A and B are shown apart, each in its own frame.
Chain A
Amino acid sequence: MSLDAAMTAPALEFRGVGHAYDGVPVLSDIDLAVAPGEVLSLVGPSGCGKSTLLRLAAGLEPLSIGSILIEGRIVSDPRTQVPPEDRRLGFVFQDIALFPHLTVVDNVAFGLRRRAAPERRRRALAALEQLGLARFAEAYPHTLSGGQQQRVALARALAPDPKLMLLDEPFSGLDARLRDRLRDETLDLLKARGVAAVIVTHDPEEAMRMGDRLAVMSEGRIVQCGTPAELYRRPASPFVASFLGEVERFEGVVQDGHVATPLGRIPAPGLSQGAAALVLIRPEGVVVGEALADAMPQARVIDARLLGRTSLIRIAVDGVAAPLHSRMPGDVLPEPGAAVSVRLDCRRAHVFPLAQGALSDDAAAPPRSPAPDRP
């Protein structure tokens, strides 16, 4: 492998990766590449296989199908298994996994074994300094708070200077405020060092906030991969659309290239005449305005709550059984019971074909059918 190839090769690449536990497939047809310096969020509901994918990349699980490359070099395929210690990557575990018998500084120095003792200590202290943990250097992990422990785990993984970081739900055990701060700190640190990273999370907001790109997983497959804006604005499936944010759902039939909903007609490009369609609308696409005498449909405010920047308005609309949600700028805060007009913002609406006879819940499934069990 030339130096050139190393410069341009993806930091991490999955090629046709599949995996099974006890004959039950948990991953299939995974093709994914992480560019050098890129932060990729791997997001999906619990049990979709994202953590397994991360453990396969680290060499903590043996791979059964496909291959995994780090900087253009095959590290895992059904014949080769480069052990985790030779992959030069950093791994941050969901349960933090600090060594309870070592002090904080010794934990951080754990991975610096090829260096002389004073040098190890100096580097470990420098890593702690960077995360504002220098004063805890001689403390034992159990005396630290959850956030501090997670920072130490990050410092420990970063200390050996890996080119690739794998983070498995690193902030899941922390409270909301701390989580926000640690997300920013972690991202700054990764970007400052130019480390490629894969962050596994089940929280779409965290995924969009941390990732240059997102790979959304469902039932062992990657259903869509792209920038947060691409995925949020142009979801490839009802699953992606509803996973990344709240949606209101309507079903209808395509007529003259449009689907009729109680809130108005929405363009349905690419769907044939008479086809059943599923319409998903984000609450910010449901625009509440002043009541107009001849407005259709008639709508009435159930309640309105200020959530800070935005307000969340529940409205009862003629011809719609359940209340609809509207998300408006915070200064729009109508009184309960007020008559209002409702308009659709078509850019916030997504139209998908609805399988014939399918119940609406099934429409949220990924577009491809689940893989049959491998023989």
Chain B
Amino acid sequence: MAEQGFFPGPEAIERAGSALPARRRFRLDLWTLGPFALAGLIALPVLAVLAQLVLPAGEVWRHLAETVLGRYVLNSLLLGAGVGFGTAFLGVTAAWLVTFYRFPGSRIWEWALLLPLTMPAYVIAYTYTGLLDYAGPVQSTLRDAFGWTRDDYWLPPVRSMPGAIMMLVLVLYPYVYMLARASFLSQSVCAIEASRTLGYGPWRTFARVTLPLARPGIIAGVSLALMETLNDFGTVSYFAVDTFTTGIYRAWFGMGEPVAAAQLGATLLIFVAALLLIERRSRGAARYHHTTGRYRTLPTRPLGGLAGIIAAAACLLPVGLGFLLPVAVLGNWAIETWDYVIDARFFMFAGNSFVLAAISAAVAVAVALVLAYAQRRKADPMVSWAVRLASMGYAIPGAVIAVGVLLAFGAFDNAIDGWARSTFGVGTGLIVTGSIAGLVFAYLVRFLAIPVNAADAGFARVTASMDGAARTLGERPGGVLRRVHAPLLAGSALTAGLLVFVDVMKELPATLILRPFNFDTLAIRAYQMASDERLRDAAAPGLLIVLVGIVPVILLSRAIARSRPGQFRE
């Protein structure tokens, strides 16, 4: 699966057959209605949030607007600027080094640079706080070594705005790295060689040809990192950096003001919409990179001596700070706290996480396959529009989706409950919002883009002619599905399912808002432990999430390496 498989892009789909004759064109059938119904359902939470904008602004909203809204906007902008520059710098540098140079360990850095992707931002935040705070090993060692006391030295506090930016940069730069590297790899050698023959040296070629060609990919990567920044709740809430997500959570749970929470969410969506627009445009441009179909292995220059060591250090820095060090610290703490953290309840949290993730992954993949099939059967722009709408949720912060689910289905649940109570004398409880159904639905909204794009990429390999070939060879439509489509799609579907699985395990804000009473997952557990300042006890659940997340990163790195046409044929 190519990297496009993981995030939506304007991916063209090879569609089966052609449009039907005019008189059949507008007949509504299941394959048209289905995607629309699904898209409508999935858009429901966002629509519910946006609908709150027309409600008269309550007293609380006015209060929020006067007191905290300015701070939320300012913090979000500061955070965004910091994370944007940080991820762009780390991501592009790393991608450029491993793509164009050979130096000690460069083959390993290629995939190791993706590892911080496994680290939820809140887990890394807890880790560094535990490591660097007053009672942590760093300060204790310094005090012991130099005989200092509290007033003898000063270290910048981790739990601050710059700290939050650093944490987010360390775990989000792989988005930029990934897309920048894919852009570099997809460039034709000819463009680079043409520049050299036209009198540009390697540095100016990089500045004038390579980097501009990769710019859409880099911008798309930064946009994704910024979307994740807006989505983040765990880090900013722990670092007491007030942003929209913490505001929404507080308005909903602290003040019991759903309308205010939704209106904050709607305001946040303006930022999201801007990012979406930027990302989509860059993606569109990124497709027109290469004018030739000729590919050769990109020439890599060996870097020896000091240059090689500097390059290796430049790669070690993000991997070490974003993955190796925190994992080592987490492992250490997990072992320290083993005897009382790993108990029956821990296995229950893990079980909850796994079951939730597995159900969500299966549902998301199934829905995506149905949507992809609908698109394939009907080359109808309306259907593809519906599918794109349905896969927009990857940009919507989990907290907003969760509030939207509660708003959209809360009334529905209460109505059903009331009806059952009056009819049967027994209430049903809250069917959607009171069970894991609401949670699975929220995950579906947020992560559907992953399997949708995987299914698109998968179906792109199944050309219309293959269907025709199977049919003319005597196979019925069901048999075509079983003997041709299923085996060709299985790989992408499985990979996508795995990615959803891991993302669900990491997800914090939506889970926190929507989980049924007393239903705790690993992510929730880590959050609760950290909130109680029991950072070491948060290590075991955090570490388990990270370890599960390594599997798809390995798949991801292999997919990127394979994405360059002809890379392994030379």
Question: CB of A19 within 8 A of chain B?
Answer: yes
- Contact assessment for A84 and B472 in the assembled complex, using a CB-CB cutoff below 8 Å: yes
Question: CB of A329 within 8 A of chain B?
Answer: no
Nearest to B475 among chain A residues (CB) is: A85
Question: CB of B476 within 8 A of chain A?
Answer: yes
Collect the chain A residues with CB atoms within 8 Å of residue B23's CB: 64
- Contact assessment for A95 and B474 in the assembled complex, using a CB-CB cutoff below 8 Å: no
Collect the chain B residues with CB atoms within 8 Å of residue A94's CB: 465
Q: A229-245 toward B: CB 8 Å interface, digit per residue (1/0)?
A: 00000000000000000
Nearest to A374 among chain B residues (CB) is: B22
Stretch from B105-113, B406-414, B482-490, B553-561 forming part of the interface with A: B482-490
Specify which of B19, B472, B475 is in contact with A91 (CB 8 Å cutoff): B472
Task: Report the minimal beta-carbon distance from A108 to chain B, rounded to whole angstroms.
Answer: 10
Take A97-B465, A99-B466 as given contacts and tell me if A20 and B22 are in contact as well, using a CB distance cutoff of 8 Å.
yes
Specify which of B19, B461, B468, B483 is in contact with A60 (CB 8 Å cutoff): B468
- Contact assessment for B21 and A100 in the assembled complex, using a CB-CB cutoff below 8 Å: no
Interface SS of chain B: helix, strand, loop or mixed?
helix
Collect the chain A residues with CB atoms within 8 Å of residue B21's CB: 19-23, 62, 64
Collect the chain A residues with CB atoms within 8 Å of residue B468's CB: 55, 58, 60, 84, 91, 93, 97
- Contact assessment for A60 and B17 in the assembled complex, using a CB-CB cutoff below 8 Å: yes
- Contact assessment for A93 and B475 in the assembled complex, using a CB-CB cutoff below 8 Å: no
Q: How far is the CA of A110 from the CA of B470 in the complex (A)?
A: 8
Take A20-B22, A94-B465 as given contacts and tell me if A58 and B472 are in contact as well, using a CB distance cutoff of 8 Å.
yes
Q: Total interface residues on B, using CB and 8 Å?
A: 27
Task: Report the minimal beta-carbon distance from A98 to chain B, rounded to whole angstroms.
Answer: 8
Nearest to A24 among chain B residues (CB) is: B22
Most A C-beta atoms less than 10 A away, residue of B22, B471, B473, B484 = B473
Collect the chain A residues with CB atoms within 8 Å of residue B476's CB: 83, 85
- Contact assessment for B20 and A110 in the assembled complex, using a CB-CB cutoff below 8 Å: no
Q: B1-44 toward A: CB 8 Å interface, digit per residue (1/0)?
A: 00000000000000001111111110000000000000000000
Q: A120-159 toward B: CB 8 Å interface, digit per residue (1/0)?
A: 0000000000000000000000000000000001001100
Collect the chain A residues with CB atoms within 8 Å of residue B484's CB: 99, 101
- Contact assessment for B18 and A156 in the assembled complex, using a CB-CB cutoff below 8 Å: no
Q: A15-32 toward B: CB 8 Å interface, digit per residue (1/0)?
A: 000011111000000000
Q: How far is the CA of A21 from the CA of B19 in the complex (A)?
A: 7
Task: Report the minimal beta-carbon distance from B243 to chain A, rounded to whole angstroms.
Answer: 47
Q: Total interface residues on A, using CB and 8 Å?
A: 39
Q: How far is the CA of A83 from the CA of B467 in the complex (A)?
A: 13
- Contact assessment for B471 and A85 in the assembled complex, using a CB-CB cutoff below 8 Å: yes
Question: CB of A111 within 8 A of chain B?
Answer: yes
- Contact assessment for B465 and A95 in the assembled complex, using a CB-CB cutoff below 8 Å: yes
Within 8 A of B (CB), among A143-182: 153, 156-157, 160, 166
Collect the chain A residues with CB atoms within 8 Å of residue B463's CB: 95, 97
Q: How far is the CA of A84 from the CA of B464 in the complex (A)?
A: 14
Collect the chain A residues with CB atoms within 8 Å of residue B25's CB: 22
Q: How far is the CA of A211 from the CA of B22 in the complex (A)?
A: 34
Q: B356-374 toward A: CB 8 Å interface, digit per residue (1/0)?
A: 0000000000000000000
Question: CB of B277 within 8 A of chain A?
Answer: no
Task: Report the minimal beta-carbon distance from A211 to chain B, rounded to whole angstroms.
Answer: 21
Collect the chain B residues with CB atoms within 8 Å of residue A87's CB: 472
Q: How far is the CA of A96 from the CA of B470 in the complex (A)?
A: 12
Nearest to B487 among chain A residues (CB) is: A101
Q: A328-364 toward B: CB 8 Å interface, digit per residue (1/0)?
A: 0000000000000000000000000000000000000
- Contact assessment for A83 and B471 in the assembled complex, using a CB-CB cutoff below 8 Å: yes
Collect the chain B residues with CB atoms within 8 Å of residue A59's CB: 471
Most B C-beta atoms less than 10 A away, residue of A55, A60, A62, A89 = A60
Task: Report the minimal beta-carbon distance from A241 to chain B, rounded to whole angstroms.
Answer: 32
Task: Report the minimal beta-carbon distance from A47 to chain B, rounded to whole angstroms.
Answer: 13
- Contact assessment for B474 and A111 in the assembled complex, using a CB-CB cutoff below 8 Å: yes
Specify which of B17, B472, B475, B488 is in contact with A90 (CB 8 Å cutoff): B472
Q: How far is the CA of A100 from the CA of B488 in the complex (A)?
A: 8
Nearest to B468 among chain A residues (CB) is: A60
Question: CB of B342 within 8 A of chain A?
Answer: no
- Contact assessment for A21 and B469 in the assembled complex, using a CB-CB cutoff below 8 Å: no
- Contact assessment for B473 and A110 in the assembled complex, using a CB-CB cutoff below 8 Å: yes
Take A22-B22, A61-B18, A62-B21 as given contacts and tell me if A97 and B472 are in contact as well, using a CB distance cutoff of 8 Å.
no
Q: How far is the CA of A86 from the CA of B471 in the complex (A)?
A: 9
- Contact assessment for A84 and B471 in the assembled complex, using a CB-CB cutoff below 8 Å: yes
Q: How far is the CA of A19 from the CA of B22 in the complex (A)?
A: 10
Question: CB of A113 within 8 A of chain B?
Answer: yes
Collect the chain B residues with CB atoms within 8 Å of residue A93's CB: 465, 468-469
Collect the chain A residues with CB atoms within 8 Å of residue B466's CB: 97, 99
Task: Report the minimal beta-carbon distance from A337 to chain B, rounded to whole angstroms.
Answer: 40
Task: Report the minimal beta-carbon distance from A27 to chain B, rounded to whole angstroms.
Answer: 11
- Contact assessment for B472 and A23 in the assembled complex, using a CB-CB cutoff below 8 Å: no
Specify which of B20, B24, B473, B483 is in contact with A160 (CB 8 Å cutoff): B473
- Contact assessment for A110 and B472 in the assembled complex, using a CB-CB cutoff below 8 Å: no
Collect the chain B residues with CB atoms within 8 Å of residue A160's CB: 473-474
Take A101-B487, A101-B488, A110-B483 as given contacts and tell me if A21 and B18 are in contact as well, using a CB distance cutoff of 8 Å.
yes
Within 8 A of B (CB), among A255-285: none
- Contact assessment for B19 and A61 in the assembled complex, using a CB-CB cutoff below 8 Å: no
Q: How far is the CA of A95 from the CA of B465 in the complex (A)?
A: 7
Specify which of A20, A85, A97, A153 is in contact with B474 (CB 8 Å cutoff): A85
Collect the chain A residues with CB atoms within 8 Å of residue B465's CB: 93-97
Nearest to A142 among chain B residues (CB) is: B569
Take A93-B465, A97-B463, A97-B468 as given contacts and tell me if A22 and B19 are in contact as well, using a CB distance cutoff of 8 Å.
yes
- Contact assessment for A85 and B22 in the assembled complex, using a CB-CB cutoff below 8 Å: no
Nearest to A20 among chain B residues (CB) is: B21
- Contact assessment for A157 and B472 in the assembled complex, using a CB-CB cutoff below 8 Å: yes
Q: How far is the CA of A346 from the CA of B483 in the complex (A)?
A: 60
- Contact assessment for B18 and A91 in the assembled complex, using a CB-CB cutoff below 8 Å: no
Q: How far is the CA of A239 from the CA of B512 in the complex (A)?
A: 73
Take A20-B21, A60-B17, A64-B21 as given contacts and tell me if A97 and B469 are in contact as well, using a CB distance cutoff of 8 Å.
yes
Contacts A83-B476, A160-B473 known; list 18 others, CB within 8 Å.
A19-B21, A21-B19, A22-B25, A60-B472, A61-B18, A84-B471, A85-B473, A85-B475, A90-B472, A93-B465, A97-B465, A99-B466, A99-B469, A100-B488, A110-B473, A110-B475, A113-B475, A114-B474
Q: List 7 A-B contacts (CB under 8 A).
A: A21-B18, A23-B21, A58-B472, A84-B471, A90-B472, A95-B465, A113-B475
B-to-A contact residues, CB < 8 Å? 17-25, 461, 463, 465-466, 468-476, 479, 483-484, 487-488
Closest 10 CB pairs of A and B: A111-B473, A97-B465, A84-B471, A23-B22, A93-B465, A91-B472, A97-B469, A101-B487, A85-B474, A97-B466
